[in-house]
Each structure stands twice: as structure tokens, then as C-alpha cells.
Chain A
């Protein structure tokens, strides 16, 4: 038996979350994330710079220390730039959205 078609009930209205609730949720916000990773990048760069000075003055005991520090700084810089590019791309995508 085919059941009869029932009448359409009231459509559920999409609930829009209150903006206040969204900003009040605790957690890592994007700005804090960026500033933290920038601080880490800064630390890596200064370690690398200190070792470069040591290499120039002849105080460097381990050659690989400088190479590792500069490589770490380079990878971290690439990572930060990649994150920044992604964020800017996402922002531009939103700005291009048709209203």
C-alpha cells in the first residue's frame, strides 16, 4: 500500500548562531596562533644569527650546529610564508564572494 502524501509541515528555520557566542568560545584564535608562530620563527632566526656570528669570530665548535639552525630557520620561514599566503588567499576568496 502506498501511503498518502502528507501535508508539508512547517519548515525548520535555520538557526543563526549568535555572533556573541561565536567570539566568546575559548580556544586559540587565529591572531594568537600567528603571533605565537612568528615569535618561534624569531627565536629560530636569532639562534641562527648568533651561530653565524660565532662562525665568523671562530667561536663555533660544531659546524653542523649552524647549518642545522639555519636550515630550521629556513623551513620555519617557508612554513610561515605558506600559512600567510593561504590566509590571504582565503580572505581574497571571501572578498570576491557575490552578494
Chain B
């Protein structure tokens, strides 16, 4: 493109942080999942942000998704229908406070990218006003 590189790069950042928000939302929604000890626990998803085209057009991308522990935590819940003979169930090893921190990071970064789009557009509009 060339003309709108600033806006397009910010757009790629917006995609990354939208996915980050999706991951946090998935983790928080599954925070109270219960699974039997024979199977894996729900694994938290962590977004890995990476440079898209370093040194050229620029921009960010989701380089991959890291999964949290499948082992989770063993919790003694003998009343749970999924409990094994010792009365244990497996719950995901997700820290809600950590997820809230991730949520703030993703939200603020999304807003920062939106401001870049806004400022770039304001700058271009101001340039169009030259000589009027």
C-alpha cells in the first residue's frame, strides 16, 4: 500500500488484541470447569504476539497460542458426580487475577491502536487541508 501503512499496522495490532481479548474471555468463562481425574483439565490459552513483517511493511500478528497446564489442580469434591474413588476432580489451573491483568493489557493495547488509527487519519485530513 504505502499511503496507509500507519493505519494498516495499527489494524494488525487491533486484530492481535481482539484475539487476546477472545483468549482471556475463553479462559475466564471456563475458569470453573470440572473434569474427571482420568482426563485433562481445561487448558488456558495464551496469545503470543509477534512482528508480522519486521523491517518491511511492519505490523503485528498472533505468532501462536500457548496452552496452559493440562494437569490443572486436583480438588477434593466427593459430592461431584465426576469425582473419582478418592473424591477428587480436576479443575483448570487458571488464576482469575492474572486473567484480569491480561484483560487490562489487551484492552489498553486495543485502545492504543485505535488512537493510532485516529491520529493518523486526523493527520491525513489535516494534510488535505493544506493550501485551503
Do A62 and B7 touch (CB < 8 A)? Answer: no
Interface residue? A38 (CB, 8 A): no
* Residues of chain A lying within 8 A (CB to CB) of residue B8: 68
Contacts of A40 in B (CB 8 A): 3
CB atoms of B11 and A79 under 8 A apart: no
From A62, A67, A68, A75, give the contact of B124 (CB < 8 A): A75
Q: How far is the CA of A79 from the CA of B126 in the complex (A)?
A: 11
Report whether A72 and B7 are in contact in the complex, using a CB–CB cutoff of 8 Å.
yes
> What total of chain A residues lie within 8 Å of the partner, measured CB to CB?
13
> With an 8 A cutoff between CB atoms, is A76 at the interface?
yes
A61 to chain B, nearest CB (A): 8
List chain B residues, Cβ under 8 A from A62: 14-15, 18
Interface: B121 (CB within 8 A): yes
Could you tell me which residues of chain B, from 86 to 132, have a CB within 8 Å of some CB in chain A? 114, 117, 121, 124-125, 128
Q: How far is the CA of A21 from the CA of B18 in the complex (A)?
A: 57
The answer to the question of A78 belonging to the interface, with a C-beta cut-off of 8 Å to chain B, is: yes
Q: Which residues of B contact A (CB under 8 A)?
A: 3-4, 7-8, 10-11, 14-15, 18, 114, 117, 121, 124-125, 128
Beyond contacts A67-B117, A75-B124: 12 other A-B pairs, Cβ-Cβ < 8 A, are A40-B3, A64-B14, A65-B11, A65-B15, A68-B7, A68-B10, A71-B7, A72-B7, A75-B121, A76-B3, A79-B128, A82-B128
